[in-house]
């Protein structure tokens, strides 16, 4: 994945995450100024999994987004298509059943999960519609979808400061802490190119999901979109 290219060829995306896997969690903590921990707790609450339910955490990476579920006694399946991320995840949490899977062609039967969640993954898939369709297929009727993704700060002045941080401050910091600084330039550019809250909600509805809504976190830097599969 190069600076000039925001084309999301699945092989390039997987290779980029293979490359950053070793330092992924450290870099995340530094660049989000620790906010990522709050976002993960919010995802857990939004999914609201009951004991005995099974949740697919797709694009789970090193499993950091799956851990709150596992630690809360929920059956969580962390799945990702970057073998490098899965390897680091397995070293960190050998108790989690890491699974190789592409969000656009999931290796799971219809209606196998009570909920599907995806944190900071949807922005990277080549076809958002294909992924949303696959999530709908593998979740049970009445099951939930929770997407946690970077979004648009709602306050204009805050949005300006944040855009400065994203485009000017983040790349030099990433250069110091990451093994692949180019990937953090891609991060900044892909966030800028990503649709806002309302537009993403419309895309989720168009894919067949009902009761679509969202909640902003950290002033809209991140949005949690929630939806239900029609019964
Ligand atoms: C920014 S990381 C997020 C990891 C984790 N969910 C978290 O919150 O820390 C994005 C992950 O999405 C994965 N990914 C991107 N496109 C994917 C796809 N089509 N299928 C499966 N995983 C994908 C990448 O391999 C990477 O591990």
ipTM: 0.99
User: For position 170, which CATH number holds?
Assistant: 3.40.50.150
How does pLDDT run across 51-66, given as a tens digit for each residue? 899 999 999 999 999 9
| Domain total of the chain | 1
Cβ of 83 less than 6 Å from ligand 1: no
Query: 202 CA distance to ligand 1 centroid (A)?
Result: 22
Q: Is residue 5 part of a domain?
A: no
How does pLDDT run across 108-155, given as a tens digit for each residue? 999 999 999 999 999 999 999 999 999 999 999 999 999 999 999 999
Query: 22 CA distance to ligand 1 centroid (A)?
Result: 14
Q: Is residue 47 part of a domain?
A: yes
Residue range of the domain that includes 194: 10-228
Q: Is residue 19 part of a domain?
A: yes
Q: Is residue 42 part of a domain?
A: yes
Please state, in angstroms and rounded to a whole number, the distance separating the CA atoms of residues 56 and 218: 25
Band of residue 169 on the pLDDT scale cut at 50, 70, 90: confident
């Amino acid at each position: 994945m190069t600076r000039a290219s925001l084309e999301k060829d699945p092989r390039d995306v997987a290779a980029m995450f293979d490359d950053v896997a070793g330092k992924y969690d450290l870099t995340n903590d530094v660049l989000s100024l620790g906010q990522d921990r709050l976002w993960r707790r919010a995802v857990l609450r939004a999914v609201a999994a009951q004991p005995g339910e099974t949740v697919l955490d797709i694009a789970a990476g090193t499993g950091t987004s799956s851990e709150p579920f596992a630690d809360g006694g929920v059956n969580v399946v962390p799945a990702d298509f970057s073998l490098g991320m899965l390897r680091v995840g397995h070293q960190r949490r050998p108790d989690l059943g890491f699974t190789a899977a592409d969000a656009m062609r999931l290796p799971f039967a219809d209606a196998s999960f009570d909920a599907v969640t995806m944190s900071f993954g949807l922005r990277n898939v080549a076809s958002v519609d294909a992924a949303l369709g696959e999530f709908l297929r593998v979740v049970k009727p009445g099951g939930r979808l929770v997407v946690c993704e970077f979004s648009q700060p709602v306050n204009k002045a805050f949005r300006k400061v944040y855009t400065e941080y994203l485009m000017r401050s983040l790349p030099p910091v990433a250069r110091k802490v990451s093994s692949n600084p180019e990937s953090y330039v891609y991060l900044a550019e892909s966030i800028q190119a990503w649709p806002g809250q309302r537009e993403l909600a419309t895309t989720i509805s168009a894919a067949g999901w009902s009761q679509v809504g969202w909640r902003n976190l950290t002033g809209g830097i991140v949005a949690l979109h929630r939806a239900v599969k029609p019964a």
